[in-house]
């Protein structure tokens, strides 16, 4: 960044010198402007690149013995350039050896990420507790440092294995205690002192490390006593390094609205998922393979099973207060938040008595839009109709028809909106208007007269006889209609109107069902979402990422069947899928193919089985064919 700043200053001085010496001012001004624009663009790009860079250190295990090796990985994210290996400082208790670099590219939630890693072996020299100090690296002119990592060295491998026993799942069924440091949920709010019905953003973060999970429950479960909960936003996925351990992080966001005064306990938040663990060796070659020096077949043929576990967060203590009664405006209708903006307008501004005006009101801001009412318009000299109110997230609008009943009306009175500002802890009122209007008398031959209006400035109005005849009007309309029916264009137009009306009726019924029947909506979008989700599969095959490929196709199958049956994907096991497919008369061959896909995925993802591109393409084709075939049975 310092280099770019020096370059900018040098180019700026040169541009100023040229502008001072030359007589062609206009041409050089253009040159100088272009030069400054280029400088700003380069600086902006360098700043954005610097902001995207991160530098982390991780170890494969924090507990080793003197006869073991610890692997240290330094990862630089956000840089695509070739970088030189990072020089390690002196690490007390260890000798280091550089193994080589590693490069990876990933796309998470539509964001492109590139990583450059440098891998080192650390050889313990003595037993005890040590700390890998912060490691610094200069990247694109900026210095980045990692966080220190605490490690422990034991004299024997048995001691290290005993210390790591809480972190290994081989041969053991996982439970909540054994997963305590591997899967963590943290729930947080912006403030714990809140007001009744205030909108409170809630963020839930799920941290997963060194354990294989699938079928994560969505949305998270939360006791709703004393609160109202909004729908959750689309989950975000990422990763972070905490104390040398890399965690996969899932973030869920929503809003809550406390509707109970006093001290309120929020949570704990609970998320259920399936954790995969080894059930034992099932080598097809029998008992003892010691003739090879080790049972080389067991690792490949290890069997995995899934166990549902529920992880809980710590509860959050909220104190819910009522709004202060002091200085409460008379028109306050329950709006709570901050940075509200209220706008109002009237149109047209010139009308005849009895003609309608449109009053529009718009409220935007950060707060609770669920409960408060829009400002009420009620003024002498106007007839008012029910407003049309629309609520879309952080905006609420109202549109109503008002009709001046007399030429004496000169303006639409001012209208105000009051709310409680949580940042100021006080009430605020925003006023719009008054709006000047011009009301003229209706022309003598004007047919329209607002029904039910009475000019308060005059006495009763006597309608002259023969001024209006309902019978004559009916005859005139009937004759006009008969004349229209003799034209072919009338019937064509009538047919078009009928077809358009019928199409709109069918479309509206379809949309209503989509909005009110979640099961129908999920069934309808199941195959479309499955096809869309399978698009990255070819990229994984080309890159040789077999684990990512099989994780993708099994997730697609899970989500497709969950949508078709209107169930949570986390609650579907392969046994339940098989039973449900049998009930829908799916043939045994297709069910067997589905089970083979899941079995192959477990072998690749969790047993480290190798798989070539041809096999992956065959499994992708089989998955696509299975989805197409299931469409015939799962309506």
pLDDT digits (tens, 9 = 90+) for 499-529: 999 999 999 888 888 777 777 888 888 888 8
Length of the chain: 635
Where are any strands of DSSP class E within 369-519?
382-384, 388-391, 395-404, 411-412, 415-421, 426-432, 435-436, 438-440
Nearest C-alpha neighbor of 312 from the set 385, 217, 377, 247: 217
Residues near 173 by beta carbon (within 8 Å), at least 6 away in sequence: 277, 307
Q: For 447-483, b where at least 16 C-beta lie within 10 A, e where not — what string?
A: eeeeeeeeeeeeeeeeeeeeeeeeeeeeeeeeeeeee
Q: Is the pLDDT reported for residue 257 higher than 50?
A: yes
What are the tens digits of pLDDT across the range 389-423? Answer: 988 878 999 999 999 988 899 999 999 999 999 88
Judging by DSSP bridges, how do beta strands 382-384 and 395-404 pair with one another? Answer: antiparallel
CA distances (Å), 185 to each of 215, 217, 227, 272, in order?
A: 16, 13, 20, 11
287-301, 377-391, 554-568: least confident range: 287-301
Q: Is the pLDDT reported for residue 294 higher than 50?
A: no
pLDDT (0 to 100) of residue 86: 87
From CA 57, how far away is CA 119, in angstroms rounded? 10
Q: How confident is the model at residue 60 (pLDDT cuts 50, 70, 90)?
A: confident
Instruction: Please compute, for residue 401, the number of CA atoms within 13 A of its CA located in the half-sphere on the CB side.
Output: 8
Percent of the chain whose predicted confidence (pLDDT) is above 90? 22
* Residue 312: its H or E element: strand 303-312
Phi, psi for residue 197 in degrees, rounded to 5: 70, 15
Q: Is the bond preceding residue 268 a cis peptide, omega within 30 degrees?
A: yes
pLDDT (0 to 100) of residue 263: 93
From CA 336, how far away is CA 518, in angstroms rounded? 31
What does the DSSP assignment read for 203-239?
EEEEEE-SS-EE---SSPB---TTEEEPPPPPPEEEE
What are the tens digits of pLDDT across the range 118-145? Answer: 889 898 888 999 989 999 988 888 888 8
What are the tens digits of pLDDT across the range 582-620? Answer: 888 788 888 888 888 888 888 887 777 778 888 888 889
For residues 10-28, give the mean pLDDT: 49
Q: How confident is the model at residue 49 (pLDDT cuts 50, 70, 90)?
A: very low
pLDDT (0 to 100) of residue 172: 52
pLDDT (0 to 100) of residue 81: 67
Q: How confident is the model at residue 9 (pLDDT cuts 50, 70, 90)?
A: low
From CA 338, how far away is CA 334, in angstroms rounded? 13
Judging by DSSP bridges, how do beta strands 262-266 and 316-321 pair with one another? Answer: antiparallel
From CA 309, how far away is CA 28, in angstroms rounded? 70
Q: Are 30 and 126 in contact (CB under 8 A)?
A: no
Q: Is the pLDDT reported for residue 24 higher than 50?
A: no
Q: How confident is the model at residue 268 (pLDDT cuts 50, 70, 90)?
A: very high
From CA 427, how far away is CA 363, in angstroms rounded? 16
Residues near 225 by beta carbon (within 8 Å), at least 6 away in sequence: 260
pLDDT (0 to 100) of residue 298: 46
Nearest C-alpha neighbor of 319 from the set 369, 389, 258: 258
Q: Is the pLDDT reported for residue 561 higher than 60?
A: yes
From CA 553, how far away is CA 143, in angstroms rounded? 41
Where are any strands of DSSP class E within 406-558?
411-412, 415-421, 426-432, 435-436, 438-440
Q: How confident is the model at residue 47 (pLDDT cuts 50, 70, 90)?
A: very low
Q: Is the pLDDT reported for residue 188 higher than 90?
A: yes
Q: How confident is the model at residue 241 (pLDDT cuts 50, 70, 90)?
A: confident
Work out the burial of residue 614: count CB atoms within 10 Å of its CB; fewer than 13 is exposed, 13-18 middle, 19 or more buried.
Answer: exposed
pLDDT (0 to 100) of residue 601: 84
Q: Is the pLDDT reported for residue 344 higher than 90?
A: yes
Q: Is the bond preceding residue 348 a cis peptide, omega within 30 degrees?
A: yes
Nearest C-alpha neighbor of 219 from the set 274, 275, 271, 273: 271
What are the tens digits of pLDDT across the range 99-116? Answer: 888 776 655 555 556 778
Give the torsion sign (CA, 152, 153, 159, 160).
positive
What does the DSSP assignment read for 555-604?
HHHHHHHHHHHT--GGG--HHHHHHHHHHTT--HHHHHHHHHHHHHHHHH
Structure tokens at 574: 């392969």
Q: Is the pLDDT reported for residue 469 higher than 80?
A: no
pLDDT (0 to 100) of residue 17: 55
For residues 470-478, give the mean pLDDT: 78
Nearest C-alpha neighbor of 262 from the set 346, 318, 192, 337: 318
Q: Are 155 and 66 in contact (CB under 8 A)?
A: yes
Nearest C-alpha neighbor of 76 from the set 3, 136, 134: 136
Where are any strands of DSSP class E within 20-89?
54-59, 63-65, 70-77
Q: Is the pLDDT reported for residue 278 higher than 80?
A: no
| Spacing of C-alpha 635 from chain mean position | 29
pLDDT (0 to 100) of residue 341: 93
More confident site: 230 or 445: 230
Structure tokens at 630: 């299931």
User: What dihedral do alpha carbons 470, 472, 475, 479 form, nearest 10°?
Assistant: -130
Q: Is the pLDDT reported for residue 174 higher than 80?
A: no
Mean pLDDT taken over the chain: 79
Q: Is the pLDDT reported for residue 430 higher than 80?
A: yes
Percent of the chain whose predicted confidence (pLDDT) is above 70? 79
Phi, psi for residue 489 in degrees, rounded to 5: -70, -25
| Spacing of C-alpha 341 from chain mean position | 26
For residues 545-549, give the mean pLDDT: 87
Q: Is the pLDDT reported for residue 300 higher than 70?
A: no
How many of the other CB atoms lie within 10 Å of CB of 541? 21
Residues near 155 by beta carbon (within 8 Å), at least 6 away in sequence: 65, 66, 127
């Amino acid at each position: 960044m310092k280099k770019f700043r020096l370059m900018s200053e040098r180019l700026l001085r040169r541009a100023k010198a040229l502008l001072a010496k030359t007589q062609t001012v206009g041409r050089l001004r253009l040159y100088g402007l272009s030069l400054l624009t280029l400088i700003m663009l380069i600086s902006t790009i360098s700043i954005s690149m610097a902001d995207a860079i991160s530098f982390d250190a991780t170890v494969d295990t924090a507990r080793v013995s003197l006869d073991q090796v610890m692997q240290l990985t330094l990862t630089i994210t956000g840089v695509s350039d070739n970088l030189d290996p990072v020089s390690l400082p002196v690490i007390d208790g260890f000798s280091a050896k550089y193994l080589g670099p590693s490069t990876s590219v990933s796309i998470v939630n539509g964001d492109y990420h590139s990583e450059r890693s440098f891998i080192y072996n650390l050889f313990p020299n003595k037993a005890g507790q040590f700390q890998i100090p912060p490691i610094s690296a200069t990247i694109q002119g900026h210095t980045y440092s990692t966080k220190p990592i605490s490690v422990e060295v034991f004299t024997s491998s048995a001691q290290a294995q005993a210390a790591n026993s809480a972190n290994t799942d081989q041969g053991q069924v996982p439970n909540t205690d054994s997963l305590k440091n591997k899967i963590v949920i943290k729930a947080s709010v912006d403030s714990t002192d809140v007001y009744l019905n205030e909108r409170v953003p809630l963020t839930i973060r799920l941290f997963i490390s060194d354990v294989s999970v699938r079928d994560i429950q969505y949305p998270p479960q939360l006791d709703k006593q004393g609160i109202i909960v909004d729908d959750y936003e689309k989950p975000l996925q990422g990763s972070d390094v905490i104390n040398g351990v890399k965690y996969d992080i899932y973030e869920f966001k929503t809003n809550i609205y406390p509707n109970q005064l006093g001290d309120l306990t929020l949570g704990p938040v609970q998320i259920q998922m399936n954790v995969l663990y080894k059930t034992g060796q099932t080598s097809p070659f029998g008992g003892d393979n010691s003739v090879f020096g080790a049972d080389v077949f067991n690792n490949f043929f290890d069997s995995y099973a899934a166990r549902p576990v529920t992880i809980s967060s710590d509860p959050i203590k909220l104190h819910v207060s009522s709004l202060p009664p002091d200085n409460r405006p008379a028109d306050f209708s329950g709006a709570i938040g901050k940075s509200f903006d209220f706008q109002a307008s009237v149109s047209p501004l010139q009308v005849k008595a009895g003609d309608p005006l449109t009053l529009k009101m718009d409220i935007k801001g950060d707060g609770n839009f669920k409960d408060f009412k829009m400002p009420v318009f009620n003024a002498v000299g106007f007839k008012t109709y029910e407003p049309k109110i629309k609520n879309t997230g952080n905006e609420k609008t109202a549109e109503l028809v008002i009709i001046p009943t007399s030429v004496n009306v000169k303006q639409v009175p001012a209208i105000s909106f009051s709310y409680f500002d949580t940042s100021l802890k006080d009430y605020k009122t925003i006023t719009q208007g008054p709006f000047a209007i011009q009301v003229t008398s209706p022309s003598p031959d004007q047919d329209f007269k607002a029904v039910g209006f009475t000019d308060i400035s005059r006495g009763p109005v006597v309608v002259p006889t023969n001024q209006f005849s309902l019978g004559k009007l009916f005859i005139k309309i009937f004759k006009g209609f008969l004349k229209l029916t003799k034209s072919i264009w009338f019937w064509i137009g009538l047919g078009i109107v009928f077809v358009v009306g019928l199409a709109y009726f069918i479309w509206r019924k379809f949309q209503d069902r989509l909005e009110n029947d979640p099961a129908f909506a999920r069934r309808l979008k199941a195959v479309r979402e499955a096809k869309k989700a399978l698009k990255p599969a070819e990229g994984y095959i080309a890159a040789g990422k077999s684990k990512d490929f099989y994780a993708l196709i099994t997730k697609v199958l899970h989500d497709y069947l969950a949508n078709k049956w209107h169930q949570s994907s986390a609650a579907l096991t392969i046994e339940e899928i098989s039973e449900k497919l049998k009930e829908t008369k799916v043939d045994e061959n297709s069910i067997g193919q589905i089970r083979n896909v899941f079995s192959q995925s477990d072998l690749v993802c969790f047993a480290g089985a190798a798989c070539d591109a041809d096999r992956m393409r065959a499994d992708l084709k089989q998955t696509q064919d299975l989805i197409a075939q299931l469409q015939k049975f799962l309506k």
